[in-house]
Amino acid sequence: MQMNRRALLSAAAATAVASATPALARTVQTAPPADRAAVLAAMKKATAFMTDKVAVGGGYVWQVLPDFSRRWGELEAKPTMIWVQPPGTATVGHLYLDAYHATGDEQFYNAAKAAADALVAGQHPRGGWNYVIDTAGEESLKDWYAKIGGNAWRLEEFQRYYGNATFDDAGTAEASQLLLRVYLEKRERKYRAPLDKAIQFVLDAQYPNGGWPQRFPFVENGGLHGHADYTPYITFNDDVAGENLEFLLYAHQALGSNDARLVDAIERGMDIYVKTQQPMPQPAWGLQHFPDTLKPAPARTIEPQAFATHTTAANIRSMIGFYKLTGDRKFLERLPEALDWLDQVKTPQNLIAPGRTHPTFILEGSNTPVYIHRKGSNIANGHYYADANPNNLIVHYGSFRSIDTAAIRREYEAAFAMDPAALIAASPLKAKAGTLKLPKYFTLRDVSVWDMSTDARRERAPAPEAIAAVLSKLDDNGAWITPLTTTSNPYNGPSPEAVTGGEYQTTRVGDLWDVSPYNTDFPVDGISTAVFIRNMGDLIEALEA
């Protein structure tokens, strides 16, 4: 059920081809555009339904049944809970601001403010956010962790209540960006203090060497199931470092701040990629690294101490971007080594699944791939483990990845040919603070710092037929009802220590006591924030057309 913001926006813009080059020409539709009044009326009606019926204190989960009897974020939520992880409260808030920018209608601005207010109410005292907020208070949240989080077999990040905040899944970064946008919209003073606190949180959490942990502030005895606490390790998984760098760059430019701390944090945050690339003959990265030795570190029990091929590919692309921001060739210097290594560890032909090219994990020192398995039926009696057997794999965490090394090589070669001086002249990092504005839209497609001072619209607008379909599917209440393809077992009491119900090695979920979400072959109709965001984005594009 997990969906990060970038994955959401890729799905929501299915009719578009996301581009990092704002200058690309958009496809022009020749059919008559949709009636503007009808589009605006639908947007207002859908927004009223979400704010008046679906929201809890201005915030949102991911999925809701039409009768509101069950609600889910990444896990089932109490009626009093809202979700910070995308596509939750901050993502919907960004969508409302986008709708306001497209229409100027105060209804959307007020909805965005309500989402921001919900996040402010749940902000950690140090400035970041947890995955979830319970409007009923901390004791209610602890109860949820004990019952739901504590019985979600495969979601170890929810199996204990840390009481701190997380950078995982872009939750803190996206919430911080929403506060930045809301503050900049009308400079309402009440948003400046929580925004400053969010900025300070990112600065406080950063190690002197430039890395960021997964969670902060650190807690005592944070480990689970006899394992060391992985949350203080330097984290690349789910683009933790990249999301923090993006937020700091937005804040630096959009606030017009000459605060040297922001630039210093950005520069150190880029440098940690160089420092953590391992020496030959394995010039790669792990999901996490130890803060002291900078060696790959283990995390959840489905994430062994190993190199991660998809993280290595993502870090290569990040460093190409850092070169474009700085003109400094240190970010390119060892990338050919990493690309050669990725080619070296490709999955053997007899194991290749459709669309998969590489094993996820490679052991340090041997280039041996390892694969993830589990035994048992629930959290009380089950466990995960890694070995060299590529059969009977878990289905909820991929042991294989799809990596196009040839495409990454082309990106590297194109960057290497670029003139450093020209890059510096066009860099949002090197430009004087305050020169660039935030992108006009944040949810039409995946945006980055390269979209500053642009509309950041899709390359291809939805066809008129698609807009007509969106309008026609809005029901009388203002809801887009859609099949919910994920579900979970309801809480059934503490998980029994005896294995129940047979073999769960390769199933989507464990026994009836496992409350982990899973893809279902029997979807029920409901309300989805992801679908709401996608459809509203289509209507925004129709207005722009």
Tens digit of pLDDT for each residue in 354-402?
789 999 999 999 999 999 999 999 999 999 999 999 999 999 999 999 9
Residues 6+ positions from 214 with CB-CB distance below 8 Å: 166, 167, 168, 230, 231, 232, 233, 235, 237, 240, 288, 299
In 351-494, where does DSSP find H-type helix?
Answer: 405-416, 420-426, 464-473
For residue 483, cis peptide bond before it (omega within 30 degrees of 0): no
Return the structure tokens found at 142.
Answer: 């602890």
Q: Which of 120, 114, 65, 61 is nearest to 86 (CA)?
A: 61
- Asked if 542 and 467 count as a contact pair (C-beta separation under 8 A), the reply is yes
Q: What is the mean pLDDT of residues 107-130?
A: 98
Kindly tell me if the per-residue pLDDT of 81 is higher than 80: yes
Strands 361-362 and 369-375: antiparallel
**Integer Cα distance of 461 and 359 in angstroms:** 37
Sign of CA dihedral 74, 80, 86, 87: positive
Domain 5-544, architecture per CATH: Alpha/alpha barrel (1.50)
Q: Which of 399, 545, 543 is nearest to 101 (CA)?
A: 543
Task: Indicate the SS3 state at residue 23.
Answer: coil
Q: Give residue-wise pLDDT tens across range 156-191.
A: 999 999 999 999 999 999 999 999 999 999 999 999
**Integer Cα distance of 121 and 81 in angstroms:** 12
The tokens 């203080």 sit on which residue?
232
The per-residue pLDDT for 32 is 63
Kindly tell me if the per-residue pLDDT of 26 is higher than 90: no
Task: Indicate the SS3 state at residue 171.
Answer: helix
Q: What is the mean pLDDT of residues 63-92?
A: 98
- Lowest mean pLDDT, pick from 223-227, 322-326, 524-528: 223-227
Residues 6+ positions from 43 with CB-CB distance below 8 Å: 99, 103, 108, 536, 539, 540
The per-residue pLDDT for 9 is 45
Q: Which amino acid is at 370?
A: V
pTM of the model: 0.94
Q: Which of 276, 307, 271 is nearest to 294 (CA)?
A: 276
> What rounded mean pLDDT belongs to the chain?
93
Kindly tell me if the per-residue pLDDT of 518 is higher than 70: yes
Sheet of 71-72, strand order: 76-77, 71-72, 63-64, 518-528, 481-487
Q: Give residue-wise pLDDT tens across range 203-216.
A: 999 999 999 999 99
DSSP assigned state of 329: G
Strands (E), 13-78: 63-64, 71-72, 76-77
Burial class (CB in 10 A: 0-12, 13-18, 19+), 212: buried
Q: Which amino acid is at 433?
A: A
**Integer Cα distance of 394 and 255 in angstroms:** 46
DSSP H/E element including 323: helix 309-326
Kindly tell me if the per-residue pLDDT of 6 is higher than 70: no
Strands 383-387 and 400-401: unpaired
**Integer Cα distance of 431 and 453 in angstroms:** 12
Q: What is the mean pLDDT of residues 269-285?
A: 98
The per-residue pLDDT for 262 is 97
**Integer Cα distance of 318 and 82 in angstroms:** 32
Q: Which amino acid is at 331?
A: F
Kindly tell me if the per-residue pLDDT of 17 is higher than 80: no
Task: Indicate the SS3 state at residue 285.
Answer: coil
Q: What is the mean pLDDT of residues 453-471?
A: 95
DSSP assigned state of 234: E
Kindly tell me if the per-residue pLDDT of 28 is higher than 60: no
Return the structure tokens found at 66.
Answer: 């039409």
Half-sphere exposure of 237 (CA within 13 A, CB side): 28
% of the chain surpassing 70 pLDDT: 93
DSSP H/E element including 336: helix 335-344
The tokens 């340090």 sit on which residue?
364
The tokens 């809480």 sit on which residue?
491
How confident is residue 23, by pLDDT bands cut at 50, 70 and 90? Answer: very low
Q: Give residue-wise pLDDT tens across range 323-341.
A: 999 999 999 999 999 999 9
Kindly tell me if the per-residue pLDDT of 65 is higher than 50: yes
- Asked if 100 and 112 count as a contact pair (C-beta separation under 8 A), the reply is yes
The per-residue pLDDT for 349 is 73
Q: What is the mean pLDDT of residues 139-158?
A: 97
The per-residue pLDDT for 227 is 79
Residues 6+ positions from 39 with CB-CB distance below 8 Å: 467, 471, 539, 542, 543
Return the structure tokens found at 290.
Answer: 């130890």
